[in-house]
Amino acid sequence: MASKRQAIMDAIKARFQAISIGGGYATNVGANATPWKLDEGDDNEYPFLSFKDPDETVTNLTTGGTGRGTDQYTLKVECMGGVEILTDASTPDQVATVARQILQDLVQAVGQDQTWGIPYAYSVLKATSVNLEMENKVIAWAFMEFQVIYQTGRWNYTA
Strand partners, 72: 59, 151
Q: What is residue 89's predicted lDDT score, i.e. its pLDDT?
A: 47
- Dihedrals phi, psi of 59, to nearest 5 degrees: -120, 130
CATH superfamily placement of domain 4-153:
Phage tail protein-like (3.30.2000.10)
Chain centroid to CA 90: how far? 27
Q: Quote the percentage of the chain above a pLDDT of 90.
A: 57
Give the model's pLDDT for residue 139.
Answer: 83
Give yes or no for residue 135 having a pLDDT over 50. yes
The predicted-structure confidence for 88-113, as pLDDT tens digits, reads as follows 447 788 888 999 999 999 999 999 99
* Cut 0.85: pTM above it: yes
- The answer on pLDDT for 20 being more than 80 is yes
pLDDT at 138 over 70: yes
Q: State whether residue 120 is helix, strand or coil.
A: coil
